[in-house]
C-alpha cells in the first residue's frame, strides 16, 4: 500500500525517539485496541529538536475508539515524575485505531498547548503502523515535525 501523505507543512523541528520507546508506545496502543490509547512524552528540547527521554503510558478513561481522555491522577503522577527527573513535558501521544496519523477536528479543537508536541500513531493498517508528530497553533493550523527513531 502507498504511504499516506500528510498535507501539512513542516515545522522545521524534529522529534527524536529511541526505538525502545517507540516500541513501548506501539505495544501500549496495540494492547489498547479497539480503543484509542494515550500517554505523555517527556524529555528535553535542544534547539529545534525535541528529544524524548521518557514515555508515560496512561489510561483512556473514555474507553472509546474515537476519542480519549487521560486519567488525571496518572497525568499528575507523570508530571511529578518528569520534574523529579529534570525532564520537561514535551507533549502527548494517542492512537488512531481506524484512521490515519493526522489530527482529527476534535484533536485540533482540544490542542490547547501551542508549545506541545502532539504525536499520533495510526493502527489503521495493522502491519504498517504510522507515527507522526504535529504542532497545532492557537489558530488550529497544523504543521508536522520530522520524526527520527534511533
pLDDT of residue 1: 39
pLDDT band at 9 (very low <50, low <70, confident <90, very high): low
Q: Which domain holds residue 68?
A: 10-149
* Within-domain flag for 93: yes
* Within-domain flag for 3: no
* Within-domain flag for 140: yes
Q: What is the mean pLDDT of residues 79-83?
A: 98
Q: Which three cell numbers stand for residue 71?
A: 486519567
Q: What are the φ and ψ backbone dihedral angles of 28, each rounded to 5 degrees?
A: -60, -45
pLDDT of residue 7: 54
Query: What is the CB neighbour count within 10 angstroms for residue 117?
Result: 23
How far is the C-alpha of 94 from the C-alpha of 86, rounded, in Å? 24
User: The CATH number of the domain where 92 resides is what?
Assistant: 3.40.140.10
Query: What is the CB neighbour count within 10 angstroms for residue 67?
Result: 15
Query: What do you get for the CA distance between the two ends of the chain, in Å?
Result: 25
* Within-domain flag for 117: yes
Average pLDDT value for the chain: 92
Query: For the chain, what is the domain count?
Result: 1
Q: Which of 4-13, 46-55, 83-92, 101-110 has the lowest mean pLDDT?
A: 4-13
Residue 11 has pLDDT above 80, yes or no: no
Q: What are the φ and ψ backbone dihedral angles of 66, each rounded to 5 degrees?
A: -120, -15
* Within-domain flag for 23: yes
Residue 134 has pLDDT above 70, yes or no: yes
Question: H-type helices in the chain, by residue range?
Answer: 19-31, 72-84, 105-109
Residue 4 has pLDDT above 50, yes or no: no
* Within-domain flag for 96: yes
Amino acid at each position: 500500500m502507498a504511504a499516506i501523505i500528510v498535507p501539512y507543512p513542516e515545522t522545521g523541528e524534529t522529534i527524536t525517539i529511541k526505538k525502545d520507546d517507540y516500541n513501548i508506545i506501539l505495544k501500549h496502543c496495540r494492547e489498547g485496541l479497539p480503543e484509542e490509547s494515550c500517554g505523555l512524552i517527556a524529555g528535553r528540547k535542544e534547539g529545534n529538536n525535541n528529544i524524548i527521554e521518557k514515555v508515560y503510558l496512561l489510561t483512556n478513561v473514555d474507553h472509546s475508539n474515537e476519542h480519549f481522555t487521560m486519567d488525571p491522577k496518572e497525568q499528575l503522577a507523570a508530571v511529578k515524575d518528569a520534574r523529579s527527573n529534570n525532564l520537561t513535558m514535551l507533549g502527548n501521544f494517542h492512537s488512531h485505531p481506524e484512521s490515519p496519523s493526522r489530527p482529527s477536528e476534535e484533536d485540533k479543537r482540544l490542542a490547547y498547548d501551542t508549545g506541545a508536541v502532539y504525536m499520533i500513531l495510526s493502527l489503521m493498517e495493522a502491519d504498517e503502523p504510522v507515527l507522526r508528530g504535529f504542532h497545532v497553533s492557537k489558530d488550529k493550523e497544523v504543521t508536522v515535525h520530522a520524526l527520527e527513531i534511533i
